[in-house]
A and B are shown apart, each in its own frame.
Chain A
């Protein structure tokens, strides 16, 4: 199969699943007890005029499928409707909140990739006491939910030592980065542990390969043996965790942003859920699902480049 055909097929598959996901996200509102209008109005004043407005805005008198398709059409044009809490366009709301979350996720991703790979590398290559120490640390890390890390880091470095601000997102890139340092570490901790473990075990597998002995027997310097024949060979396995890493990052922003009041998309999702601001919840959920699937698609497309044994369409041949 050619690369293009494979890419197109995966794109179509993703579109179908995304369509299903959008149906779930939209349809969830109709699982709620009571009429959609009363659900949308829950906790708010329900004057007949308001009810009328809601009914018109959401075309609640139309059949369900018609409403879904209309909503889908708008979403595809970037229109997620109006927020019930903020009474503004959801798209504008998201655009305001996006930079903080984007920076937070980017910082965390950087930390995860750098530290995770280094720890995994060192553990696999050094062995002995260093490896045991890394194993214990990463065992603790994968047992630490991001919100626990957030609260502990906040208590120590923000409240007690005062090195970092306790909350907020700051203004300007540098100030934002400073504000987001602790949240990014809290967000990264679990994934550092996971990635370090994946890298370590993939590298240990690769180390057992005979091609490593052969490379050594040919006088290739040890550092290069590890880089070219061990680390390189573990990359395929590491890459397959990409989707999991990104989806975990996105979902955990909800917890970490709330703990640090970052005011990004994650915290917006939490607030919209408690206030039952359903259009906003729908929009953010759909974005998270779409991002997650996009990353998985990229992983699938990149994998054959990283590992020539992977034929397009099958995930992995052998280890």
Chain B
């Protein structure tokens, strides 16, 4: 059974002309690291939050979001609480904003399992100290306030907190963006180590395709609420099929690639208040034809590469250097 199974997820927000998520399909197997990549506003955070049943106010979802085989979208409040304390957990982008500054670290780590009655206070404390140790922090932190910790330390605390309920699915929403470079590398390494140790499925949400390719087994690329391409990290990195993926890659600095000016993608992602016909990327795509503007492409595998479907009428067949 997959840790996360998103099927045909559509999400409509009040006051918008088109769904903000438009038929998203995504799976994360146990112990697997999957990256979800896209620009801000592409719907990648919404997708990951949907896995916890965290929807924006007024949102109307259709489709299925199965965590450990159970549909989150149809859960009542009690089930949802159970899901959030146990099977799924999230590491947020800015640990400074995510932890209540007025409460001690120990309180933060243990509150969810304590208040839902999943664990006794003593057990929760013991587990919290264990996990602090697992993320490389000492037990003396339990009595500290968030203001006394650095951002990197706080993000480790966040990760420890996410592991409290022994989840099958760990969602990491840009967990390194708010950190300095050294802490970034540490947090990434830590997440990978913990995934291996606890056998957790990890969905890593980021805007950085290079980072995604480096740490994950598979990558999904998202644009304007749709998955435009997916596949094994390496294949996607070496031979992107969707022009958007290619554009993202060429805007990412590479250590081994040709050095030169970074290409930025021209134009803006489409406005949610406007109806969308055809391919969402057409307006910014240099290969776009009339077909692209009229008919939305479906996600189709390439003849030679069954594991790397792309939603494009004119998929690329070469390497990113050709773009």
Contacts and interface: CB of A to CB of B under 8 A. Distances in A.
Interface of A: 209-211, 213-221, 224, 228-229, 232-233, 236, 306-309
Contacts of B264: none
Contact of B100 (A211, A217, A219, A306): A211
A218 B100 contact: no
B92 A219 contact: no
A215 B103 CA distance: 12
A309 B86 CA distance: 31
A221 B111 contact: no
B101 interface: yes
B116 interface: yes
Contacts of B94: 210
Given A211-B98, A233-B102, A218 B85 contact: yes
- Which secondary structure dominates where chain A touches chain B? helix
A221 B115 CA distance: 7
Interface in B49-105: 49, 52, 54, 80-86, 89-90, 92, 94, 97-103
A219 B54 contact: no
B106 to A, nearest CB: 14
B232 interface: no
B99 A217 contact: no
Q: How many residues of B sit at the interface, in one of the four size bands?
A: 20 to 34
Given A210-B94, A220-B111, A307 B102 contact: yes
The 4 closest A-B pairs by CB, nearest first: A219-B84, A219-B85, A218-B112, A210-B97
Contacts of B101: 211, 308-309
Contacts of B81: 219, 221
A211 B105 CA distance: 13
B111 A215 contact: yes
A218 B88 CA distance: 9
Given A219-B85, A219-B112, A228-B111, A308 B100 contact: no
A217 B102 contact: no
B100 A309 contact: no
A219 B99 CA distance: 15
A220 B115 contact: yes
18 contacts: A210-B92, A210-B98, A211-B98, A211-B99, A211-B100, A214-B98, A217-B52, A218-B84, A218-B112, A219-B82, A219-B86, A221-B81, A221-B116, A224-B115, A228-B111, A308-B147, A309-B102, A309-B145
A214 B92 contact: yes
A126 to B, nearest CB: 15
Nearest to B89: A218
Interface of B: 49, 52, 54, 80-86, 89-90, 92, 94, 97-103, 111-112, 115-116, 145, 147, 161, 165
B116 A213 contact: no
A228 B103 contact: yes
Contacts of B97: 209-211
A239 to B, nearest CB: 12
Given A216-B54, A217-B90, A224-B115, 19 more contacts: A210-B97, A211-B99, A214-B92, A217-B54, A218-B85, A218-B111, A219-B86, A219-B112, A219-B116, A220-B111, A228-B100, A228-B103, A228-B111, A229-B100, A232-B103, A233-B100, A306-B102, A309-B145, A309-B147
Contacts of A220: 111-112, 115-116
Contacts of B92: 210, 214
A308 B102 contact: yes
Contacts of A307: 102
Contacts of A228: 100, 103, 111
Interface-centre pick from B80, B83, B92 (highest chain A CB count, 10 A) = B92
Contacts of B161: 218
Contacts of A308: 101-102, 145, 147
A307 to B, nearest CB: 6
Nearest to A213: B54
A215 B101 CA distance: 13
Nearest to B116: A219
Interface-centre pick from B49, B81, B165 (highest chain A CB count, 10 A) = B81
A214 B91 CA distance: 9
A220 B52 CA distance: 13
Nearest to A211: B100
A307 B111 CA distance: 19
Contacts of B54: 213, 216-217
A216 B92 CA distance: 13
Contact of B99 (A214, A216, A224, A232): A214
Contacts of A236: 102
B201 to A, nearest CB: 17
A89 to B, nearest CB: 49
Contacts of A214: 90, 92, 98-99
A230 B85 CA distance: 20
A229 B115 CA distance: 13
Nearest to B90: A217
Contacts of A217: 49, 52, 54, 84, 89-90
A213 B84 CA distance: 12
B91 to A, nearest CB: 10
Nearest to A210: B97
Contacts of A211: 97-101
Contacts of B145: 308-309
Nearest to B171: A217
Nearest to A223: B115
Nearest to B100: A211
A312 B173 CA distance: 36
Nearest to B80: A219
Contacts of B103: 228-229, 232
A213 B97 CA distance: 10
Nearest to B81: A219
